[in-house]
Every structure is written in C-alpha cells, then in structure tokens.
Amino acid sequence: MTGFLGQALLYIVPFLLVLTFIVTIHELGHFLVARAFGVKIDRFSIGFGKTIVGRTDRHGTEWRIAWLPLGGYVKFSGDLDASSVPDQAGLAELRQRVIAEHGPGAERDYFHFKPIWQRALIVAAGPAANFLLALVLLTALFMALGELIAPPRVGLVTPGSPAAEAGFQRGDMIRTVNGRAVDESADVTEIVILSANDPVRFTVDRAGQVVSLVATPVRQVEQNAIAGRVQVARIGLRMEPLRSDYRYRRLNPFEAAGKATERIGAVLTSTVTYLGRIFAGKESGDLLNGPLGIAKAAGGITQQSAAASSDPGLSALNVLINLVQFAALVSIGIGFVNLLPIPVLDGGHLLFYGYEAVARRPVPARVQEVGYRVGLALLAGLMLFATWNDLQKNGLFTFLGGLA
C-alpha cells in the first residue's frame, strides 16, 4: 500500500506542479494586460474550490490560493455567462446594472465595454504568456547547458526493414531528408515519425560520395518505460554518431533565445502537421495524449531523471532540468490548444470578436449558445479520445533519441 501511494505521488505531484504553474502563467497573461487597460477584476485564483489563503489588494481584486491545485482562473467583473461574450441585450442589461450600482461612467472599467482591440489583446495574452513562458524556460536551458549536436550517422540498419531495402549502410551520414538539410539525429526521427506510409527521400554522405535513397516508414508497436505501448513510424535505423561527430557550443543570451524560438516553431509545426495527417486519415491519433498521459510522463521523467545519478545533488539537478524542459513543451501545447477557434476557448472568443468587428454588434445569444454547446462537445470528445489513448498505451512520451 505504501509503495502504491509512493508511486501515485511520484506521478501526481510533478503533474500538478507543472500544470498549476503553466495555467497560472496563462491566467496571469490575461490579468496583466487587463490591468494595463484598466479592467475591473474581481478575483485571481491559483487552484479551485475553497480558499486556503487570500487577500484583497488596493484595486479590489481578491488574490487567493484554493485547495484543488488543477490550474487557476481570473474573473473579470461582470462575467455572468459561461462564454464571457454577452450579446446586445446582455450588454444593455449589464450596463444598466453597473450604472445603477456605481454611477454613470463606471461601465468603462468593465471588460465587456472595452474596445474590441483591447478585449482581443486581453484574450490573446493568455496563450501568448504560454509561448513566452516556453521561450524563457528554453532560453534559460540553452544558456545553462549550451547546445550538443549529435549528427545523424547510421550505426545500425535492421535487416529486412525499409531502410535495409532502401540500401542504407552502417556509417552513412544523412545530410538531407525530403530536401531539408538535417544536422541532428532528432531531426531525422521527427520527419520519419510524421511520414508513415509516405516515401521519404534521403541524401547521405557515404565515404565522401553523395548517395540518394528512398525509404517508406511503417508503423510498429513499441513499448517504452515512459511512452508505454505506442505505434510509431520507423524505417529501421539507429543513429550512433562517432565521438568525433559530436559538436558542442556555448550559447550567449541572443543565440539561446534564437534556438528556443526555433524549437517552439518546430514543436508547433510538428503539431499542426500531425493534426493535419489525422484529419487526412494518415494517422490514427495514437500520439495524442490527455491528462493521464501527461501525468504519466511527468512521473516517468521524474523517476528516470532521479535514477540517472547516485549523487543526490546531481539527481535533483537532473530532475529539475528535465521537468523544466517538460514544462516548456506542455506550455506550448496549452497555448496552441487555447488558440483553436472553439467557442469555449480563447480562440473562440477571438472568433466572436472578429465577427463583432465586422458586423459592429456582438454575436447573437442563440448563436453563442449553440457554439458553446458544440465547443463543449468537441472538447469533451477530444478529451475522451485522448484519455482512451492514455489508457490503451499507459503512457505519453515517445523519445526521439536516435531512432528512425
């Protein structure tokens, strides 16, 4: 029983810490921009449920920490409906109530009566804060650790695999994939994973000679300590750079920020590509993950990082580094999901504001209600699908490593 509780805490605690931190930053993005525009804010909460500790600042905003650490929220004054985008009648009613309670002109401090561009910036500030957080975390990691480049040199070709049939040989150095120059093993792996059943063109350097090869990745079931059982596209290569192949360089703050920006762009591009392949029927969605998968990954990363060294100090440092990188990736994901044009998300609000800017009136209440219900159904369906994936494979991460 004690062992079970220990394992549960190992997975749950890192997940809650990472999730609460990221969501708090997301909500802080909304809060700071709203405060800059003079919006009246009732509450900023870290966690949900009953208040553990709280205080009210000079602006009348209640700051509190609640007992359920599953994120947080910011509540603007006048937020009555679930969509936070009242229609024309709702705005008129809210205006009358505010004027009756606080006098003429008080409505100008309320979110819903701010200009559209200000409301749009406040809404977009949440996802923007997530991307900024990822940028800061990754920049700090690159500054602290530098950049270690592991070139894609072929160390092993699996007999009978697509790579073997294509003519790959041990010692080949992969230079381009589908015309794109690659510098690291992970670059090759990422392209292969997103190309199941599609021919992939390679250019390799074989003892000074340029050789062109074509291999078609096939899905195979893999079991990983963190990923669990997943289907991943492979061609049957293992990258094993020689000691002389590795390159390391320190990065100044500008170089680190550039590298971090590049990494964020790569993650977003891969995400959009993968989702596009799902809608095109080329992927099963097996790599989509929900809360269970993220919790499993957080715990697995913590466990493996701690076991990497017998020195307690080095183990703690390793855990911190890997959780920071993990938090950056999750923050990118949360920022991206919130920008989807689904009414219950920030992207849906931006969609409504776009309509309002063109039509010069808010979206009708009936349309908002339908959109809200459809949005909830879409999110619920996506969550159920992702949770089903989590339960099936019992994990999350597919480490790129040197596999292709």
Q: 268 in a domain, yes or no?
A: no
Is residue 222 situated within a structural domain?
A: yes
**Amino acid, res. 277:** R
* Burial class (CB within 10 angstroms; exposed 0-12, middle 13-18, buried 19+) of 46: buried
Q: How many domains does the chain have?
A: 1
Q: What is the pLDDT of residue 253?
A: 94
Q: Residue 219: inside a domain, yes or no? A: yes
Q: Please provide the average confidence, as pLDDT, over all residues in the chain.
A: 83
Q: How far is CA 391 from CA 29, 231, 294, in A?
A: 33, 14, 12
362, 86 in Cβ contact below 8 A? Answer: yes
Predicted local distance difference test score (pLDDT) of residue 397: 42
**H or E element that contains 212:** strand 209-215
Give the domain range for residue 166: 147-249
- Residue 205 located in a structural domain: yes
Output the pLDDT for position 111. 86
Active site residues: 27
pLDDT of residue 202: 97
Residue 165 in any domain: the answer is yes
In this predicted structure, what is the pLDDT of residue 14? 78
- pLDDT for the residue 104: 79
Successive 10-residue mean pLDDT values, the chain, 404 residues: 53 81 95 95 92 92 90 82 58 74 77 91 97 96 91 94 95 95 91 92 94 93 65 90 90 95 92 85 71 63 64 74 88 93 90 91 80 80 67 48 52
CATH classification at residue 200: 2.30.42.10
In a domain, 173, yes or no: yes
**Backbone φ and ψ of 148, nearest 5°:** -110, 115
